[in-house]
Every structure is written in structure tokens, then in C-alpha cells.
Amino acid sequence: MAVTFSDLHAESGLKSLNVHLAGKSYITGEKLTKDDVKVYAAVVEKPNGDLFPNVSQWYNSVDALLAASFPGKAAGVRVGGQGSIAEAASVIEEKKDAPAADDDDDDDDIDLFGDETEEEKKAAEARESAKASSTKKKESGKSSILMDVKPWDDETDMKKLEEAVRSVELPGLLWGASKLVPVGYGIKKLQILLTVVDDLVSVDSMIEERLTVEPINEYVQSCDIVAFNKI
């Protein structure tokens, strides 16, 4: 009788499998069967050895047997072949019990891609999705910038100048604290902090295309980067 486990995509299913495998090498005992390969195919990704030690040991054992029995093929669910993936277990059992003279059989003729069940297809898709997520590019770095914004003269309304500067909104841009710093002859400059996501915001482009063009250039004469630090 085939052994089944519900929802091996969830932690509850893996817990149930972990309890079942206590004291066992394989699903039905000490010998690999079709049940092992079917359950193996339904497990989305390699189980956490700390949380599910029995499942992890079993998974590694089945994975190693598949890799050894199908050299040159991809390890895991996709080992290639005719018929459903469960037939891999039968092939492995035959290879284990066959005499040495049978070692010349051509394993390359085995193709497990044919006649997959819907459950096996979903498990394969989930496995590929999990693999893609684990190799997903890490979030871009961020930078903290201190910038001087200079007005045209001492008659420039610095409150409106700051409002104009902060009106610039871009994905990955966050304006921070600011203060007015005297530069001489009654003129003050705006010194302002900003944080940017490096891959989303080019500070040079922002200055050239947003801060020093209409309508903001009514108040802003120029902008200078005083400090640029990676976070």
C-alpha cells in the first residue's frame, strides 16, 4: 500500500514525515521504494536539518541514490526518464539487486519526464520557485548624502527654497534633516541630508534634471555634494 503525506509544502507536513521516519532509513523501512521517490518529489526544497533531522537524513540518502543511479543527470526530482518519476525507485532497486554483469546498461535511456502527474508538476514548479528565490539578487545598497543648496542672493526666500527642494520625489529617495548655514554677505545656504537607494537614484542626475531646472531654479542657484557615505 502506498504511503502518503499531506501538504509537504508546509511545516506541518514535514513534521508528520519527520515523525514517520524516526528509526527508519526509508518510508517503508530499510529499502528504497517508489513511495520514497514520490514523497521526495513532493518536498519543495531540502529540509532544514535542525528542524527535521529525520527528513533531512532521508532526503540526502534518496538524493544521493538518484544522483548515483543517473550519472550526468540533474539531481533532485528531475533525473530524466520514461513514465512517472516514481519509476525511478524501481530502476534503482533493480540496479541494486542486479549482478555486476548488468552494470553496462545504458542509464541515459531513462527519462522520467513523461506522464508526470499534476502533483509532481506542481512540486517541480515549487522547487524551481524556491531555488529562484534563494538566488534572488540582494537588495541594492544605500547611501547617505550631505548636500549644500545655494540660493541666488540674500533676498531668496529660504523657506520656499527648502520646500522646492523637498518637493522632489523619486523612488528610493528620502529627505532628512536640514539647517541654514551662513556663507557671508547676509546669504545663507541650505544644508540638507538625504538617503538614496543606489540602484534607483542618481544624485548627479537629480541635481541636473530636477533641482537646477524650472521651476526649482527660481530659488536654487547650485547644489554641491559635501559628503557621500555608503550605509
The domains located in the chain, with CATH, are: 11-134 (no CATH), 142-230 (3.30.70.60)
Write the pLDDT tens digit of every residue in 126-136.
777 776 665 55
* pLDDT given for residue 81 in this prediction: 39
**Is the pLDDT confidence value at 110 over 80?**
no
Neighbours of 144 (CB within 10 A): 15
Helix (H) or strand (E) holding 118: helix 118-134
Residue pair 123/42 in contact (Cβ under 8 Å)? The answer is: yes
**Is the pLDDT confidence value at 143 over 80?**
yes
* pLDDT given for residue 76 in this prediction: 44
Q: Which three cell numbers stand for residue 151?
A: 540660493
Report the percentage of the chain scoring pLDDT > 90.
Answer: 37
- Band of the pLDDT at 168, cuts 50, 70, 90? very high
Write the pLDDT tens digit of every residue in 3-59.
566 677 777 878 888 888 888 888 887 788 888 888 888 877 788 888 888 888 888
SS3 of 226, please?
strand
* pLDDT given for residue 71 in this prediction: 56
List beta partners, residue 162.
none
**Is the pLDDT confidence value at 227 over 90?**
yes
SS3 of 75, please?
coil
User: How far apart are the C-alpha atoms of 60 and 64, rounded to whole Å?
Assistant: 6
Write the pLDDT tens digit of every residue in 185-197.
899 999 999 999 9
Neighbours of 200 (CB within 10 A): 12
- Band of the pLDDT at 88, cuts 50, 70, 90? low
* pLDDT given for residue 112 in this prediction: 41
